[in-house]
Amino acid sequence: MRMEQSTLGQRRKPALFITGAGGEVGHGLITSLSSNNSVDIVASDLRDLDEDLRSQCAETYLADVCDRDALDRLLSMYQVKEIYHLAAVLSTRAELAPEVAHQVNVNGTVNILQIAAEQGRMYGEPVKVVFPSSIAVYGFSSLAQKTEAGAVSEYEYCKPRTMYGCNKLYCEHLGRYYAHSYRQLAQDSVQGTDKNRGVVDFRCVRYPGLISAETIPTGGTSDFVPEMVHAAARGEAYTCFVREDSRIPFMTMPEAIDATLKLAAAPRNSLSQIVYNIASFSPSAGEVAELVKKYFPGADITFEPDERRQVIVDSWPEALDCSVAENDWGFKPSYTLEQAFEEYLVPKIIKQYESAT
């Protein structure tokens, strides 16, 4: 039964819902979605969104993803067609308050999946949930094992050593459960009349470290690269908290946004799995520093590893095997590291700081 009337009798407006909309990914995603999307964007975060983001959304709300009643109230006027669930506590911040991180990263995701399932059942069509996971789901026991492994597939070495990585890996499995097995023994799942099958179309990309020219991340352990680039652009000294030889996968924010939207748009039957690796390049911190100094000759960069954060970065892979994303939905990096600096980061970041003065 297609229920298109809200409880008040009016037709609910189709909408696309974004949580954690004020974060780094949210900035890029809203800008991309608003330029080529006919459906209203409803955005939520714990803090007010910037005016430029608010102006691109039909509605913006202050809401905590852990507050299920608040989410139900703000979504009661909409038929949610897609959800981009970005709200999360990243790896470094999560280690300072692991139980809070679990509340947000896991219970918040359960709330979103449940809302998607209920709306999917109510309207008789699957709600698409696009979920950003992370390279934090991986865990190597030694640098030798990390180096030996090289580019890893989605299902190797998934033994996270951070609360954030545990949360993201579990939520990947939760998404698969809601997509394929939700309430499988419930009375209304009787064979043939199964109202729970396919109500959630869950899709997941595993983000590497992300580098944006417009925003600086907070609370992450891969932040050393964007922090280094932005400090040099501001003419400030930067002390890097990992060794020069630290190597993990990265991509630019525009590439991450493009890949996320490409996965979201892919026909369901073209997807052979739920979780996809994406990345563009895997520089060492020292290689990034050399490129920064090439474009910002006066850059003052030193290395003083924070052993505890270093252990986290050493547990993450050197590189990702992104072949399944390439095969299933045409993922393709836009830049090498050098091209990212030459064509995106340096021109944009200089413009960004020039306009700020």
* Residues lying near ligand AKB in the complex (CB under 6 A): 90-91, 134-136, 164, 207, 209, 217, 220-222
Q: Is the CB of 123 or the CB of 331 nearer to ligand AKB?
A: 331
| Helical ranges in the chain per DSSP H | 24-35, 51-54, 68-75, 91-96, 98-102, 108-123, 143-149, 163-180, 224-233, 253-265, 285-295, 307-315, 323-329, 337-339, 346-356
Quote the CA–CA distance of 192 and 185 in Å, as a whole number.
13
Could you tell me which residues come within 8 angstroms of residue 152 by beta carbon, excluding any fewer than 6 positions away? Answer: 138, 277, 317, 319, 320, 321
In whole angstroms, how large is the CA radius of gyration of the chain?
21
Q: Please, what is the minimum distance in Å from the beta carbon of residue 272 to ligand AKB?
A: 24
State how far the alpha carbon of 47 is from the alpha carbons of 20, 22, 131, in Å.
Answer: 9, 7, 21
Closest CA to 23 of 104, 79, 97: 104
If the CB atoms of residues 20 and 120 are measured against ligand AKB, the closer one turns out to be 20
DSSP letters along 246-295, please?
-B--EEEHHHHHHHHHHHHHS-GGG-S-SEEE--SB--BHHHHHHHHHHH
- Specify the residue, 126 or 160, whose C-beta has the smaller distance to ligand AKB: 160
Residue with smaller CB distance to ligand AKB, 215 or 221? 221
Exposed (0-12), middle (13-18) or buried (19+): which is 339, by Cβ within 10 Å? middle
What is the C-alpha to C-alpha distance for residues 109 and 87, in angstroms, rounded to an integer?
9
Q: Give the span between the Cα atoms of 197 and 178, in whole angstroms.
A: 9
CB of 326 to ligand AKB, least distance (A): 21
Which residue, 98 or 198, is less far from ligand AKB as judged by CB? Answer: 98
- Nearer CB in complex with ligand AKB: 134/212: 134
Q: CA-to-CA distance for 165 and 100, rounded, in angstroms?
A: 14
Chain residue whose CB lies nearest ligand AKB: 220
Cα 142 from chain centroid (whole Å): 26
In the complex, minimum distance from the CB of residue 23 to ligand AKB, in angstroms, rounded to a whole number: 11
The nearer residue to ligand AKB, 215 or 222, going by C-beta atoms, is: 222
In the complex, minimum distance from the CB of residue 214 to ligand AKB, in angstroms, rounded to a whole number: 16
Nearer to ligand AKB, 95 or 258 (CB): 95
CB of 207 to ligand AKB, least distance (A): 5
Least gap, CB of 171 to ligand AKB (angstroms): 13
- Residue 142 CB, shortest distance to ligand AKB, in Å, is 20
Provide, rounded to whole angstroms, the least separation between the CB of residue 204 and ligand AKB: 13
At 301, list the tokens. Answer: 């960069």
